Structure 1
Amino acid sequence: MAGQRSYTASILKATIRKLDPREMIHNPVMFVVELGTAVVVWLTLIQKGAADRNYDLLVAIILFLTILFANFAEAFAEARGRAQADFLRRTKSSTRAKLLLPDGTTSWVDAPQLTKGAKVLVEAGDVIPGDGVVIEGVGSVDESAITGESAPVVKAADDGVTGGTVLLSDHLVIEITVNAGETFLDRMIALVEGAERQKTPNEIALSALLGVLTLIFVLVVVTLVPIARYFGPHAANITTMVALLVCLIPTTIGALLSAIGIAGMNRVSLVNVVAKSGRAVEAAGDIDTIILDKTGTITIGNRMATEFLPVPGVTQEELAEASLISSLADTTPEGRSVVELAQDILHIKELPQYEGEAVPFSAHTRMSGIDLADGRKIRKGAVSAIRDIVEDPPAELEQNAERVAKDGGTPLAVEMDGRALGIIRLKDIVKSGLKERFNDFRAMGIRTVMATGDNKITAAVIAQEAGVDDFIAEAKPEDKIALIKKEQSQGKLVAMTGDGTNDAPALAQADVGLAMNSGTMAAKEAGNMIDLDSNPTKLLDVVMVGKQLLITRGALTTFSISNDIAKYFAIIPAMFAAVPELSGLKALNIMGLKTPHGAILSALIFNALIIPALIPFAIRGVKYRAESADAMLARNIFNWGVLGVIIPFIAIWGIDHILGLFGLA
């Protein structure tokens, strides 16, 4: 309860603080409203007639409420971010660390005192005091405070850890890799708090447009003043002119523009993604091409051995035994799956022991294996690599490999002492639901490209099964950069994911680079977004959030400008209704508003109330649908354009009748 009161109090304080003209001047539309309010307040104080004073006072109150509602929208959006930042800040500030001293002893220090290169001992139950790398030990880490994922993650030597997470078991020795104030938690606090949020290019452009529109309407209203004076003081006074100006300038979008941007950043954090800037979120909404790794993104990632295909003259048992021996030292998921499949084929439960020297996989040779003590040498790896070291590769080796590839699997060749034994079929599974999501992107005009190190045949099968638009096979890091640059040279925005140091150049080159939290520091620094869940498919969610941000801003801008039409028909006829020479303007009073003052007050009240009414749309975002730009534009114009004209007509007419009941119209 106390927390709720504190939350409410912070919003109210921020709302009042933003009344400072030095704060308000950053929003030109609302700054003009504030100046207009000051003018009307001054007129109220010097007004002599009671009726005119009451009218001026009502206008001043409504204008002041308009400013308060605008400030409240921005303060509310900021408060949502600060609530999350406060939780993270408490986690950070309460952390203490066991600093390892040169003599092997430990000393308790506050986490902010740790510097880059310091080594700390973290035991079960301790909070990890800062970003770093495990240099000793293996332990289970609870990352839920950062990622929201309850399942613990096992960390071992060379794995990165994040400050604020909790070690659940065993102990770790961690080397701190950043100085105080530069940790991942610090960057996340700054992001979600939104205090230093920089406006995005589109937001700056829209603010400039709103400023220009405001200036134009100021000139229009100033021009109307001598015309009104010509017809006499009964035509219009300064208060009415201020009311006209406030109703004509785009106050609705001017009041909500900052809130939309802040809420967009917050929505990214809700999907457990940290954006380093609002520019990245906005760019995600304009993406033309998405480059996705196959393994772990489009497919589940753990290829499993499903079949042994021996060449003529070799039995399945011989191939299974050789595959088993060459995979005993292979701790990868696919290596373990080869061992398990071989055990099933050979009907053995206990793994046999073989003396020899394991040969680890090398990206250069593209194979691994074992050199046995009895002189036998067994290798398994890429078909082309095995073919090069086999003296006389049988045609069936290539035929089986091609058949596996055409079925969407990955062929792995096995040889022993220069003799080809056969093919291991590895199968990777396309993640469910991706094909539908790619169809949604296609409807939006976004092109999806799969990048994989597999051969062209396998890549083509997986690409067709997943439903991507294009693919590049046997891709190297430089191939991804080349593809990104090619797309960008055509004026397109490109997004991609990555987690390794070799992905860093491409992540830096892409307009939206989503780095995995489990990835290397180089990848995290190169990307402009970090996925806390380390789920490569999160890029699809980020694009959706970016699209929703742009659609929300466009929808509310359309609605705001459409509102001006109704407010124009409410005030202009009322201003000159009492002028005999302009009696023809009465025909413009299509809403049948009763009196000039009632019409003006009704339009102003609607102008003020529509701002808080639209705050939920600004915070949650306008509902997003996957469709083409033309269909989206048509729906936007109808829903927020046409309705943006109709709703004010009905609302102003209703408010005018309510005011009439109280004798104010």
Structure 2
Amino acid sequence: MQQPIPIGRSKSADAPEPQVDPVCKMLVMPETAAAEYEHDGKSYYFCNPGCKERFAADPERFLRRESEFPDSSLLSPVSHSSAEYTCPMHPEVVQIGPGSCPKCGMALEPKEITLDDAPDPEYVDMKRRFWISAVLTVPFFVLVMAEMFVDFNSIFPSWPHGRASNLSMWIQFVLATPVVLWGGWPFFERAWASIKNASPNMFTLIAIGTGAAYLLSLAALFVPGWFPVEMRDAHSGLVPGYFESAAVITTLVLLGQVLELKARSQTSSAIKELLRLAPENATVVRADGSEEVIDLRHVQAWQTLRVKANEKVPTDGELIEGETSIDESMVTGESMPVEKSAGSKVIGGTINGNRSFLMKAERIGSDTLLAQIVKMVGEAQRSRAPIQRLADVVSAYFVPAVILVALIAFGVWLALGSLAYAIVAAVSVLIIACPCALGLATPMSIMVGTGHGAKNGVLIKKAEALETLEKVNAIVIDKTGTLTEGKPTVRNVIPILLSLKGTNIIAQGKAEGRNPGLEGQAESLPEREQQSVDQILRLAASLERHSEHPLASALTKEAESRGLTPLSVTDFESITGVGVRGAVGSQSVAVGNQKMFPAKTQSREEEELRKRGLTVLRVALDGEFVGLIAVADAIKPSAKTAIDHLHKQGIQVVMMTGDNRQTAEAVAKELGIDQVFAEVMPQDKAAKVKELQAQGKIVAMAGDGVNDAPALAQADVGIAFASGTDVAIESADITLLRPDLDGILKARNLSRATMKNIRQNLFFAFVYNIVGVPIAAGVLFPVFGLLLSPMIASAAMTFSSVSVIANALRLRSRQL
């Protein structure tokens, strides 16, 4: 059950926890709260001093409101008001329930995206206000436009001169008042909040502009004597009003809000698509063999589940019975179905093929891969890219600068033109300026880009990594599992027979069967030499079955396929980056690379094997070198193409491996890799990354092991694979669901596309405001006789915000 977030806490509380500002309902942390007030032994925390002053004036008023309306409380776990909401432009602003940002005035969004189909209350409210305002605005807008072509006073010659125009003004007043005061009320509320919080924003400008036009019109209608005779219309004798400007501007801004909220709701479509992957039900297999369909929320870890043909896999787990192929494209981006058999891991939300299987649930609810993806994407969308700082700096001075320009325009036009022109120019400047376009330019692209990346198996942890990855000019990658399949197999075993004479290992077990995978070696060797091959393999496999290294599994699988029974090993020791050693009976056995046997020079056979790109392990018995085991890991078919694409983007590809230099260089030559760091110990990986950075390189590092964590943290961008360790994933900035170069290439392409989109948005927002504000002020009037109407300025302002969001949404269709 959801725990309520406290409003106020007792003085004895120790652990800091989020508190609810009792006035505005924003979440605040005690240690960072702007103000604190103690009442009845409890401390209450506030987002700004103004909230504290209101609370201190009448604490019971705000506390009573909480107790009187428990059903509609913000703490209700089932309503819109129970969720945390945040601002896309100011992610540090968090409050319980919907509302508007006290800094920029924008409608807040749910912090956690869900599949709740309930309509957005902000969108519903704005839509209702827009349609009612539009119904009231259109008739008198037509009326005002008609007055420009028809003299109403001439239609009614029996009326006193000017009465028809006066009646028209009264009709405008009646129709405009509900539009401005009711339809535009949220704008005035947000403007007032911005003034209280000393954070002037777009709504400050809108409120000043529409408010000035409406109040001026009221004065012209009710107290025309206040105005000089020069302001009166030559035909009607009346002081002109601006009811139509105030109403049309309000209606157009409402339309802009409706379009913006609708477009912003689509930025989370990628997350919602991921959420829809999870099925609603699961089939549980009971201990007696009976099956029951239950709600997915009731599934427990370690329960046995039946997944039928063409059904969605209900949760993460392990296949325990049956074989199938599963379409994982919606999670990993892998287009081809993946074959699964007993022991294979399956991912919740993926689609089963045409065969049924049994699985054991391992991770459920928020622990599943799907849930972790959604959480990571949500956090990334609320992070800020460094490029956003430019817009933040400009926005901080933008609104005051616009107000200053409006005052200058008013003064200039009043001195050189007329009061009517001065009002039109000032209102137009206030209305056309759009700081929201600047503020939305980066967050909207980040939100859409990270969501699109998640659909393609690229999980961005923070926006800064997305920006840095575009600048990367060197990528360091591991050989095993990234360039290769990560499934090494034994390709050759070479015994040194003299060293095997007199040993008592053969007597402990006899080889059975042959493995044709050793390039025909088993069929062509004499029986005694074949026994030596089996003996070396058996010795090595007996040690390696205690290790978790990928090469260890290759040796143990080969021994199993040849029917070799493992020997008992004591005193086992694994030396990271070197090899393993232990005792079999009274004899010591060691298996490892050249570093395990530094005194032994490389033989001709060993050199030839390494030149062919094989990894060579040396085997020693009682300190005497007895043989070689060559292991091959097939190169992934996509590796060469991906490296070519990275080269075309000007990126240097560096391979870092603990393998022998000859083996590493053979693989590098085949794939066209630029630089090789071979025989690198795990603890030295971070130093190699530093070495590249010292050369002026911006480095991305891809890895998946615990020993990769320091290098991932050292790199400018750390890239981990979801199949790797938790430590590596935690140290990385980007997580790939597929451990291959295609995923790295997709991440790079996503970074380039997102940053290009951000620059387009920023360019448009800057150019729009730099060009629009002077035009609204009237700089074109001396040349073209053009003075922008406030209504046209309002339409332009609406277009600017919506166009920024629409441009960001284009990222959804970008091929990575």
Same fold (TM over 0.5): yes
Aligned to 1:3: none
Gaps in structure 2 of 5+ consecutive residues = 1-116, 130-183, 222-238, 500-520
Aligned to 2:29: none
Residue 434 (structure 1) aligned to one of 625, 629, 642: 642
> Structure 1's 241 and 533: CA in aligned 2 closer, same or farther, altered over 3 A?
same
Query: 1:538 offset after TM fit, Å?
Result: 1.3
Please give the alpha-carbon distance, in whole angstroms, between the structure 1 residues aligned to 2:646 and 2:428. Answer: 50
Aligned to 2:402: 217
Q: Secondary structure at the match of 2:640?
A: coil
For residues 262-661 of structure 1, what are the structure 2 equivalents within 5 Å?
262-287=447-472, 289-303=474-488, 317=525, 322-323=532-533, 326-327=536-537, 357=567, 363-364=574-575, 381-383=592-594, 385=596, 397-406=602-611, 408-413=613-618, 418=624, 420=626, 424=630, 426=632, 428-429=634-635, 431-441=639-649, 443=650, 447-484=652-689, 494-507=699-712, 510=715, 512-535=717-740, 537-567=742-772, 570-573=775-778, 577=781, 586=782, 589=783, 592=784, 595-597=786-788, 605-613=795-803, 615-621=805-811
Please give the alpha-carbon distance, in whole angstroms, between the structure 2 residues aligned to 1:595 and 1:353. Answer: 93
Q: Give 2:476's aligned amino acid.
A: I
Query: 1:497 offset after TM fit, Å?
Result: 2.8
Query: 1:220 offset after TM fit, Å?
Result: 2.7
My pick for the range that moved more, 201-210 or 315-324, is: 315-324
Check the 8 A contact 1:415/1:422 in 2, yes or no. Answer: no
Cα RMSD for the two superposed structures: 5.4
Query: 1:512 offset after TM fit, Å?
Result: 3.8
Please give the alpha-carbon distance, in whole angstroms, between the structure 2 residues aligned to 1:173 and 1:296. Answer: 26
Please give the alpha-carbon distance, in whole angstroms, between the structure 1 residues aligned to 2:380 and 2:634. Answer: 45
Please give the alpha-carbon distance, in whole angstroms, between the structure 2 residues aligned to 1:44 and 1:69. Answer: 30
Structure with higher helix content: 1
Please give the alpha-carbon distance, in whole angstroms, between the structure 1 residues aligned to 2:380 and 2:473. Answer: 31
Q: Secondary structure at the match of 1:236?
A: helix
Query: 1:203 offset after TM fit, Å?
Result: 2.8
Q: Secondary structure at the match of 2:382?
A: coil
Query: 1:433 offset after TM fit, Å?
Result: 1.1
Query: 1:283 offset after TM fit, Å?
Result: 4.2
Please give the alpha-carbon distance, in whole angstroms, between the structure 2 residues aligned to 1:257 and 1:427. Answer: 43
Please list the CA deviations of residues 468-518 of structure 1 after superposition, one character each: whole Å capped at 9, or x if unmatched. 443322223322233446667899765333333443454455554433233
Q: Give 1:432's aligned amino acid.
A: K
Query: 1:264 offset after TM fit, Å?
Result: 1.5
Q: Secondary structure at the match of 1:295?
A: helix
Q: Give 1:437's aligned amino acid.
A: H
> Structure 1's 483 and 260: CA in aligned 2 closer, same or farther, altered over 3 A?
same
Please give the alpha-carbon distance, in whole angstroms, between the structure 2 residues aligned to 1:245 and 1:406. Answer: 73
Q: Secondary structure at the match of 2:719?
A: strand
Please give the alpha-carbon distance, in whole angstroms, between the structure 1 residues aligned to 2:708 and 2:125. Answer: 42
Please give the alpha-carbon distance, in whole angstroms, between the structure 2 residues aligned to 1:272 and 1:192. Answer: 11
Aligned to 2:203: 31
Gaps in structure 1 of 5+ consecutive residues = 1-5, 343-349, 578-585, 627-665
Please give the alpha-carbon distance, in whole angstroms, between the structure 2 residues aligned to 1:490 and 1:73. Answer: 45
Q: Give 2:214's aligned amino acid.
A: W
- 1:229 maps onto 2:414 in alignment: yes
Please list the CA deviations of residues 285-315 of structure 1 after superposition, one character each: whole Å capped at 9, or x if unmatched. 4546432111222344445666778889999
Query: 1:263 offset after TM fit, Å?
Result: 0.8
Please give the alpha-carbon distance, in whole angstroms, between the structure 2 residues aligned to 1:368 and 1:138. Answer: 36
Q: Give 2:766's aligned amino acid.
A: I
Q: Give 2:635's aligned amino acid.
A: I
Greater C-alpha Rg: 2
Aligned to 2:266: 76
Please give the alpha-carbon distance, in whole angstroms, between the structure 2 residues aligned to 1:146 and 1:512. Answer: 23
Check the 8 A contact 2:260/2:805 in 1, yes or no. Answer: no
Please give the alpha-carbon distance, in whole angstroms, between the structure 2 residues aligned to 1:450 and 1:187. Answer: 30
Please give the alpha-carbon distance, in whole angstroms, between the structure 1 residues aligned to 2:439 and 2:587. Answer: 77
Q: Give 1:42's aligned amino acid.
A: Y
Query: 1:267 offset after TM fit, Å?
Result: 2.0
> Structure 1's 566 and 98: CA in aligned 2 closer, same or farther, altered over 3 A?
same
Please give the alpha-carbon distance, in whole angstroms, between the structure 1 residues aligned to 2:562 and 2:302. Answer: 41
Please give the alpha-carbon distance, in whole angstroms, between the structure 1 residues aligned to 2:724 and 2:427. Answer: 57
Q: Give 1:470's aligned amino acid.
A: Q
> Structure 1's 190 and 377: CA in aligned 2 closer, same or farther, altered over 3 A?
closer
Query: 1:448 offset after TM fit, Å?
Result: 3.9
Aligned to 1:42: 214
Check the 8 A contact 2:579/2:590 in 1, yes or no. Answer: yes
Query: 1:162 offset after TM fit, Å?
Result: 4.6
Aligned to 2:425: 240
Check the 8 A contact 1:323/1:414 in 2, yes or no. Answer: no
Please give the alpha-carbon distance, in whole angstroms, between the structure 1 residues aligned to 2:259 and 2:396. Answer: 20
Please give the alpha-carbon distance, in whole angstroms, between the structure 1 residues aligned to 2:128 and 2:450. Answer: 23
Please give the alpha-carbon distance, in whole angstroms, between the structure 1 residues aligned to 2:648 and 2:304. Answer: 48
My pick for the range that moved more, 196-205 or 8-17, is: 8-17
Query: 1:135 offset after TM fit, Å?
Result: 11
Aligned to 1:660: none
Aligned to 1:120: 303
My pick for the range that moved more, 471-480 or 311-320, is: 311-320
> Structure 1's 481 and 387: CA in aligned 2 closer, same or farther, altered over 3 A?
closer
Please give the alpha-carbon distance, in whole angstroms, between the structure 2 residues aligned to 1:508 and 1:111. Answer: 37
My pick for the range that moved more, 538-547 or 425-434, is: 425-434
Q: Secondary structure at the match of 1:619?
A: helix
Query: 1:452 offset after TM fit, Å?
Result: 0.6
Check the 8 A contact 1:357/1:370 in 2, yes or no. Answer: no
My pick for the range that moved more, 352-361 or 547-556, is: 352-361
Please give the alpha-carbon distance, in whole angstroms, between the structure 2 residues aligned to 1:153 and 1:504. Answer: 31
Please give the alpha-carbon distance, in whole angstroms, between the structure 2 residues aligned to 1:127 and 1:249. Answer: 46
Please give the alpha-carbon distance, in whole angstroms, between the structure 2 residues aligned to 1:244 and 1:419. Answer: 86
> Structure 1's 52 and 372: CA in aligned 2 closer, same or farther, altered over 3 A?
closer
Identity %, equivalent residues:
22
> Structure 1's 553 and 351: CA in aligned 2 closer, same or farther, altered over 3 A?
closer
TM-score, normalised to structure 1's length?
0.68
Q: Secondary structure at the match of 2:276?
A: helix
> Structure 1's 558 and 173: CA in aligned 2 closer, same or farther, altered over 3 A?
closer
Please give the alpha-carbon distance, in whole angstroms, between the structure 2 residues aligned to 1:625 and 1:75. Answer: 22
